[in-house]
Structure 1
Amino acid sequence: MTTGAEKLASDFGISGASPEYEVNYCFGQRGPMGLVKETSLAELFHRYADILWDEGNHKYNVKAFIGELDEILLGARFSTFSQDLLDELIGALRKRGNSNATINRKMAALSKLLRKAYKMGDVHSLPEFRRQKERAGRLRFLEADEEEALFREIEIRSELYLKFSIFLVDTGARLGEGIGLKWNDIHEGRATFWITKSGRSRTVPLTARAKKVLKDLADRSPGPFSDVDPQKFRAVWNAAKQDAGLGDEADIVPHILRHTCASRLVRGGIDLRRVQMWLGHQTLTMTMRYAHLATHDLDMCVPVLERHLAS
Structure 2
Amino acid sequence: MTSDAEKQVGDLGFPDMGSGYEVNYTFGRQGPIGVVKETTLAELLQRYADILWDEGRHKYNVKAFIGELDEILLGARFSAFSQELLDGLIGALRKRGNSNATINRKMAALGKLLRKAYKMGDIHNLPEFKRQKEKAGRLRFLEADEEEVLFREIASRSELYLYLSIFLVDTGARLGEAIALKWNDIHEGRATFWVTKSGRSRTVPLTVRAKDALKRVADRSPGPFSRIDQQKYRAVWNAAKVDAGLGNEDDLVPHILRHTCASRLVRGGIDLRRVQMWLGHQTLEMTMRYAHLASHDLDMCVPVLERHLK
- Normalising by structure 1, we get a TM-score of 0.84
| Aligned AA (1:297) | D
Larger Rg: 1
User: For this pair of structures, how many residues does the alignment match?
Assistant: 293
Kindly indicate whether the alpha-carbon contact (under 8 Å) linking 1:30 and 1:125 is maintained by their aligned counterparts in 2. Answer: no
When structure 1 is superposed on structure 2, of 42-51 and 53-62 the one drifting more is 53-62
Structure 1 residue 42: Cα displacement: 1.7
Structure 1, residues 214-273: CA drift from partner, whole Å, max 9, x if none? Answer: 111011000010111111112222222222222222221111100000000110111112
Structure 1 residue 34: Cα displacement: 5.3
| 2:36 counterpart SS class | coil
Report matched runs for 1:228-247 at 5 Å. Answer: 228-247=228-247
Kindly indicate whether the alpha-carbon contact (under 8 Å) linking 2:192 and 2:204 is maintained by their aligned counterparts in 1. Answer: yes
**CA distance in structure 1 between the partners assigned to 2:225 and 2:62 by the alignment:** 23
**CA distance in structure 2 between the partners assigned to 1:74 and 1:146 by the alignment:** 47
Kindly indicate whether the alpha-carbon contact (under 8 Å) linking 2:41 and 2:75 is maintained by their aligned counterparts in 1. Answer: yes
Aligned match of 2:200? 200
Aligned match of 1:72? 72
Structure 1 residue 33: Cα displacement: 5.3
**CA distance in structure 1 between the partners assigned to 2:302 and 2:64 by the alignment:** 51
Aligned match of 1:173? 173
Report matched runs for 1:280-295 at 5 Å. Answer: 280-295=280-295
Aligned match of 1:264? 264
Kindly indicate whether the alpha-carbon contact (under 8 Å) linking 1:81 and 1:126 is maintained by their aligned counterparts in 2. Answer: yes
| 1:121 counterpart SS class | coil
**CA distance in structure 2 between the partners assigned to 1:214 and 1:17 by the alignment:** 55
Structure 1, residues 138-168: CA drift from partner, whole Å, max 9, x if none? Answer: 1111111111222222222222212111110
Cα distance change on mapping 1:202 and 1:137 into 2, 3 Å = same
| Aligned AA (2:240) | A
Kindly indicate whether the alpha-carbon contact (under 8 Å) linking 1:140 and 1:256 is maintained by their aligned counterparts in 2. Answer: yes
Kindly indicate whether the alpha-carbon contact (under 8 Å) linking 1:45 and 1:66 is maintained by their aligned counterparts in 2. Answer: yes
Aligned match of 1:9? none
Report matched runs for 1:62-101 at 5 Å. Answer: 62-101=62-101
Structure 1, residues 28-83: CA drift from partner, whole Å, max 9, x if none? Answer: 99899555322111211222234434555544433332233223334333223333
User: Over the residues paired in the alignment, what is the CA RMSD in angstroms?
Assistant: 2.8
| 1:36 counterpart SS class | strand
Report matched runs for 1:1-311 at 5 Å. Answer: 35-54=35-54, 57-310=57-310
| 2:37 counterpart SS class | coil
**CA distance in structure 2 between the partners assigned to 1:141 and 1:135 by the alignment:** 18
Cα distance change on mapping 1:227 and 1:30 into 2, 3 Å = closer
Identical amino acids, percent of aligned pairs: 85
Structure 1, residues 253-302: CA drift from partner, whole Å, max 9, x if none? Answer: 11110000000011011111211111111221111111110111111111
When structure 1 is superposed on structure 2, of 28-37 and 162-171 the one drifting more is 28-37
Kindly indicate whether the alpha-carbon contact (under 8 Å) linking 1:276 and 1:287 is maintained by their aligned counterparts in 2. Answer: yes
| Aligned AA (2:219) | D
Return 5+ residue gaps in structure 1 as ranges.
Answer: 1-15, 19-23
| Aligned AA (1:133) | K
Cα distance change on mapping 1:232 and 1:92 into 2, 3 Å = farther
Structure 1, residues 188-216: CA drift from partner, whole Å, max 9, x if none? Answer: 21111111111111111111111111111
